[in-house]
Amino acid sequence: MLDIQQEMLEHVMCCHAERVGLATIRPTRSDARELPHAEGTFDAVYAVTALGEIPDPDRVLREAARVLAPGGGW
């Protein structure tokens, strides 16, 4: 999980992930326009109500495509 707001990361981790036992979520505070991950890192990218709130959504989509593994999905 990635968000620029620390408060949102904490909310999701304490109020949702821990409650339902999702141990594989790693909260990462970062700007979606400059993802701190290597190319081809993820099998899927999922954005919830994010693109309308982020300046330069095209850049965000390019970054998402960069970290998506070949054959990965949106």
* 5-61 pLDDT tens trace: 999 888 888 877 777 777 777 889 999 999 999 999 999 988 877 888 888 999 999
Q: What is the pLDDT of residue 61?
A: 93
Q: What is the pLDDT of residue 60?
A: 92
Q: How far is CA 7 from the centre of its chain?
A: 15
Residue 4's closest CA among 25, 33, 42, 26? 33
User: Quick count: other Cβ atoms within 10 Å of Cβ 70?
Assistant: 6
Q: Per-residue b/e over 18-41, b at no fewer than 16 CB within 10 Å?
A: eeeeeeeeeeeeeebeebeeeeee
- Here the tokens at position 47 are 């954005």
In the chain the first and final C-alpha atoms are separated, in Å, by 15
Tell whether the model's pLDDT for residue 1 goes beyond 80. yes
